[in-house]
Structure 1
Amino acid sequence: MDIKRSLVLLFSSYGCFLFGQEKALDTIYIFDSQMNKVKLFHHVTNITNEDAEKNSTNLSELLRFQSSVYIKENGRGAVSSPSFRGTTAQQTAFVWNGININSSFLGQGDVNNIALFGYDQIGIKPGGGSVIYGSGAIGGSIHLNNSLDFNKGFHAALFSEFASFNTYNNVVKGSYSNDKFSFKVSGSHSISQNDYEVEEAGGKRYTNDNGKYYNTNFNIAAAYKIAPHHQISWISETFNGKQHYPVRFGDLETKTKYHTQNFRNLMAWDWNTTRFSNSFKAAYTEENFQYFGDITGPETSGGAGKNYILKNDFNYFLNSKWNINIIGEFQVNKGKGEGSSKIGDISRNAGSIAGLLRYFPTKDLRFGAGIKKDFVEDFSSPVLFSFSGKWNANKWYDVGLSISRNFRAPSFNDLYWTPGGNLDLKPETSYQFEWRNQFKLGDFKLSVAPYYMNIRDMIRWLPTASGYYGATNTNRVESYGVESQLEFEKKFGKHMLKSNLGYSYTKSKDLDVQKQLMYVPFHKFTGGIDYQYDFVKVYVQGMFNGLTYTDSNEKRSDALDPYFVMNAGAGATFLTNYTLGFKVNNILNETYYTMLSYPLPGRNYSISLTINF
């Protein structure tokens, strides 16, 4: 990739032309204006809507089979949390169109309360990113991105699926654009009785009793070019979800449920010229939840969080080799607990200023460095930094280096929950090193990335002498390992063959006790083969998960045994715009767990229809 191509990618999200380019680029507007810059230095796995349809149950299933992320799920569709590189869910940042949307209460995102369909692309970035994406981006970040096309006219699509356990997934979307205006709308609805049965060890039958879930998501976005160099845009998302939490002991256990409503709204003004660009964003996000200790009774606890965000991203090219990027952000975070959510009515101001410098000395070499200072009310935050370099050494080998300091601010629950909150908590900080190697040989591509991470002052909830759990800082956690990916793609005539195989090894331990952290598997393999001939497509995908401890003492009797799960599917396109699909999940009918005591479904089926207009 030459330097001009690099610069095009750097600013392609703005749809503007660059210093040294001969004509304007009429491309795609991406709400996360930093994403293409990140891709110049870091590996990001992009999952398209077509890829998402292979694992259409929920976002948990998608991440489990198509990434190295470990997903801990309390039964299908229930509470679900991610783990990057041996870290916790609180150390994974969910980023919606460039805005960090981790819960102010828990400091994390519930994967099953984030819609799978509703985004144009899902990006998975391992490694720290706090300089750009803020608190929680320690182990990695998951990016939910929307985009708007210009000069594309009218398009619409419908995806409808019926699956085992009375599961229905429906998605509809439409868009229209001309040379100045772009509009897009989408909606999705998922519902499932989720009453699967699984045979456990010893011949016992497990029924996912009280496992019903349903959710609805709605997105609307628009952009307008008000002048040759100015564009305004707006995007809004509404999510409404309900989950019944599974029980293991039938009528002997009280059935519970959880409701959540999330609202996100973002407005942006982008100003682009040949040598500089500026993106000003104003965002409002809201999270509401209600917990019912008895599904037939009244709400027993709940909460409401509101976040007001202003963010400005300024870029300037000194010349064709040097780029300056300054990012400023200010937030007001508000939270209120209800019922037994003992958190009170609180408000916190937070701000940050970051500066990044990118240098392109030759067409094959690039460097980037950044520094950031956060200002969070009521506690001191560290100075963060990042450094990245990438060298295209020759046609068959690229090498990249990344060093960074990242952090996580204590959440509202960490600080204010009564009892157990701790106002004296320090923010978590981490130092990370990654060395990425990429080899190319013909139609094969291999990447190998060893990494090391040292986390200080990790926030954990541990038993106290008074009998309740309290938030405290753990001195040091060390995580190291390797991530690798082998890819192959070949087209010949009407045939297309594509395959990938990923492997990750993770060692993550509390240095005080020298034990592996809970729910961190040592080994994980993922892989898939896609084949297409003319109008027919077939695919097979598999996932192997190694031994996983469920406590902090490496107790083997309570550990999750290794398992291998394989899925397969096929689709045929007819009359140009209609695609009929069929898939089988867990072909081998494996009994497997990602969370102790809550197995995931055995063999199950689905049939789908996609219509493009």
Structure 2
Amino acid sequence: MKNKYVMQSALLVFAFSGNFSVVANDSGFDDKVVVVTANRIQQDINDTLADVEVIERQDIEKIQPQSLTDLLVNISGIDFVQKGGHAQDTSIFVRGANSNQVLVLIDGVRVGSATLGQKSISDISTAQIERVEIVKGPRAALWGSDAIGGVIQVFTRRYLSGESRVGVMIGSNNTSEVDAAIGFGDEQLNSTITYSRKRSDGFDVRIDDELDDDGYQNDSLAIKGSYQLNSSNLFDWVLQGDKGESEFDTRYGGNVANYNNHFWNLRYIHATENWTNQVALKKSRDYTYSVGNAIDRENADAFETRREQYTYLTQATFSEEVSVTGGVEWIIDDIDRTTSDYAETRRESKSAQIGVNYIGNVILADLAIRYDDVQRVNNETSVNLGVGYRLAEEQLISLNYSEGFKAPTFNDLYYPYGGNPELVFELSENIELLYKGKIGVGRLSLSVYDSEVENLIQWVPDSNGVWAPQNVGEAKIQGADLTYSIRHDSYTHKLTASYTSAEDAATGQQLIRRAKNQYGYELGFVGDSFDGFVQLQHVGKRPDNDFQTYSRIMLDSYMRVNLGVGYQFDSNWKFQLKVNDAFDEAPIQVSGYHPIEREYYFTVSYQY
């Protein structure tokens, strides 16, 4: 009977997570936070040898984000720039890696465009985010292609039966959002439906002759649920669709980007006391086209990626210290519905992986090996190896070696106006020394790393002067990330610092749009009725290319201050106010683009 309850509890954990993840009430440092993205198994975050950060739902509600990047402010080791407003093109640099070298997952599903090779994160509705797990450093031995800088996994919201929420937000640039969610079912069958609709007039994002506001709108609908067949077997699912448009300024082509994306993940889990198996069927669609500037829908170029993922994962637990994991994965990317005439429109990627995790009282160790075969490109064997030593019960130091790779995109290989089918993988190697533990009254995480990235794809002319992508680039990246958090009574303090030297190996120059130095401080307060925060973010100077003068320039450093306050009127009603960039620093993040100026947002929500 005891084993039956253990199995039922474990399966409920899996269902709630969407991908092996659960978090306890985070009211103090002794609470247990379980993560999955680091090693694709459930682990106490204090036992992971990778540098992992988790953004919980209470943090999301406190920050009142307008986009996913608002959640990444003062996450050490992460830098980002936006070409104008919240719905514009955004680049995220994890530990200095290129923005397309960061793997983005939503509920375990690899999402994004196979032509561009990355996910447009501005499409992700923040109202539907339950938590975010961020793993820094290469993770190819666990996740395959793209995970050179790291992995960002978004988990969508889930409500218990009878729980519900409605929220309304208004703010600067005539921005408004309505979101609603409801949970229903029973202990055996449980589902959640969430919906959000957001729109904004925006502002003129580019410094040019097109003097109009660039607005945006987004509709997002998700259904998430689980069915517990018995004490050992469970089905869970998530289906989500996003549709919207974003205006932008350009001299060529349309100036209104439309997208219609969706994904689903159906999973079966069988768990016994010492063995867990899961099979998942996943499909996603990333569809975009641009109109405007005399281009109508009929004549617009459309780019569509349809992706199928078939995954089998297993975990065998031999003792309290030792577990072995393994799995196979088959991914099919299809761009046949794209209007451009690509030489190849379908690609299969097959992989197999195995890992061993040892968690002892003093010594900890991780080993993961994965083999990937990408059709018509190459194959690669990736390794992650980590060894940890507990200096004390709450202090851990680890040394990690990890590898990453990125497969060339369909644009790199087969774009009709300059593709190169001879391209191979971009490759990386990383060594990291990590400390995390309790220091004084707070917790410290400090990592120092050294990375080399080779075979970077760059556009260069050949002997005949014809420009095409080639594997000719190399980058050397060194840095350090620090996070120190203190929780005292109703107050929390968080200090962050990052140093990132990301240099072109050929020139020795810092890679564009990446700041070497970043510092942050955040003060939070939670009382009986009031909560609030003050967030300070300092970003050092960063290089960029001025595309008007075709010269390299340095963008100024800046300090942004964000403020927020919430008032719990009663057990159901809550009022919130958020001020971004309170002192109107309006920092330019990308040359040639107007920055986001000071913003105000007011939210009223009812939760039952």
Query: Which residue matches 2:216?
Result: 213
Q: Which runs of 5 or more residues in structure 1 are unaligned?
A: 1-14
CA 1:24–1:604 in 2, change beyond 3 Å: closer, same or farther?
closer
- Which whole-Å CA distance do the structure 2 matches of 1:140 and 1:578 have between them? 38
- Which whole-Å CA distance do the structure 2 matches of 1:259 and 1:508 have between them? 34
CA 1:351–1:75 in 2, change beyond 3 Å: closer, same or farther?
same
Query: Which residue matches 1:69?
Result: 78
Aligned letter for 1:292? V
Q: Deviations over 1:488-528 (max 9, x none)?
A: 1011xxxx001111111001112122211111111112221
- Which whole-Å CA distance do the structure 1 matches of 2:367 and 2:488 have between them? 37
2:186 corresponds to 1:191: no
Tell me the SS of whatever aligns to 1:171.
strand
Query: Which residue matches 2:107?
Result: 97
TM-score where L is the length of structure 2: 0.89
Deviation at 1:427, TM superposition (A): 0.3
CA 1:208–1:318 in 2, change beyond 3 Å: closer, same or farther?
farther
- Which whole-Å CA distance do the structure 2 matches of 1:265 and 1:141 have between them? 20
Tell me the SS of whatever aligns to 1:426.
coil
2:264 corresponds to 1:269: no
Query: Which residue matches 2:279?
Result: 280
- Which whole-Å CA distance do the structure 2 matches of 1:449 and 1:343 have between them? 43
- Which whole-Å CA distance do the structure 2 matches of 1:313 and 1:137 have between them? 19
Structure 2 matches for 1:222-261, cutoff 5 A? Answer: 222-246=225-249, 256-261=255-260
Indicate the larger mover: 167-176 or 58-67. Answer: 58-67
Tell me the SS of whatever aligns to 1:594.
coil
Structure 2 matches for 1:38-53, cutoff 5 A? Answer: 39=45, 40-41=47-48, 42-53=50-61
- Which whole-Å CA distance do the structure 1 matches of 2:354 and 2:90 have between them? 35
Asked if structure 2 preserves the Cα contact closer than 8 Å seen for 1:28 and 1:147, the reply is: no
Query: Which residue matches 1:447?
Result: 445
Query: Which residue matches 1:510?
Result: 504
2:102 corresponds to 1:88: no
Asked if structure 2 preserves the Cα contact closer than 8 Å seen for 1:303 and 1:335, the reply is: yes
Indicate the larger mover: 175-184 or 90-99. Answer: 175-184
Deviation at 1:474, TM superposition (A): 2.3
Q: 2:580 aligns with which of 576, 579, 585?
A: 585
- Which whole-Å CA distance do the structure 2 matches of 1:147 and 1:327 have between them? 27
CA 1:74–1:281 in 2, change beyond 3 Å: closer, same or farther?
same
Q: How many residues matched?
A: 579
CA 1:173–1:256 in 2, change beyond 3 Å: closer, same or farther?
same
Q: Deviations over 1:441-490 (max 9, x none)?
A: 34311221001111110112345677765211124211010000111101
- Which whole-Å CA distance do the structure 1 matches of 2:494 and 2:9 have between them? 37
Aligned letter for 1:569? G
Aligned letter for 2:231? P
Give the alignment's Cα RMSD to 1 decimal: 2.8
2:301 corresponds to 1:301: yes
- Which whole-Å CA distance do the structure 2 matches of 1:311 and 1:288 have between them? 24
Tell me the SS of whatever aligns to 2:507.
coil
Aligned letter for 1:133? W
CA 1:208–1:125 in 2, change beyond 3 Å: closer, same or farther?
farther
- Which whole-Å CA distance do the structure 2 matches of 1:591 and 1:220 have between them? 38
Deviation at 1:114, TM superposition (A): 2.3
Aligned letter for 2:182? G
Query: Which residue matches 2:605?
Result: 610
Q: 1:529 aligns with which of 523, 529, 536?
A: 523
- Which whole-Å CA distance do the structure 1 matches of 2:535 and 2:293 have between them? 39
- Which whole-Å CA distance do the structure 2 matches of 1:322 and 1:533 have between them? 42
Tell me the SS of whatever aligns to 2:19.
coil
- Which whole-Å CA distance do the structure 2 matches of 1:197 and 1:598 have between them? 6
Structure 2 matches for 1:234-383, cutoff 5 A? Answer: 234-246=237-249, 256-292=255-291, 294=293, 297-298=296-297, 299-336=299-336, 338-339=338-339, 341-343=340-342, 346-360=345-359, 362-383=360-381
Aligned letter for 1:101? V
Q: Deviations over 1:311-363 (max 9, x none)?
A: 00011122333211111001211013645x45356111111000001123x32
Q: Deviations over 1:59-108 (max 9, x none)?
A: 13332455542222111121112111111111100012222224211111
Asked if structure 1 preserves the Cα contact closer than 8 Å seen for 2:77 and 2:500, the reply is: no
TM-score where L is the length of structure 1: 0.88
Q: Which runs of 5 or more residues in structure 2 are unaligned?
A: 21-35
Asked if structure 2 preserves the Cα contact closer than 8 Å seen for 1:367 and 1:389, the reply is: yes
- Which whole-Å CA distance do the structure 2 matches of 1:159 and 1:460 have between them? 45
Structure 2 matches for 1:142-181, cutoff 5 A? Answer: 142-146=152-156, 152-181=160-189
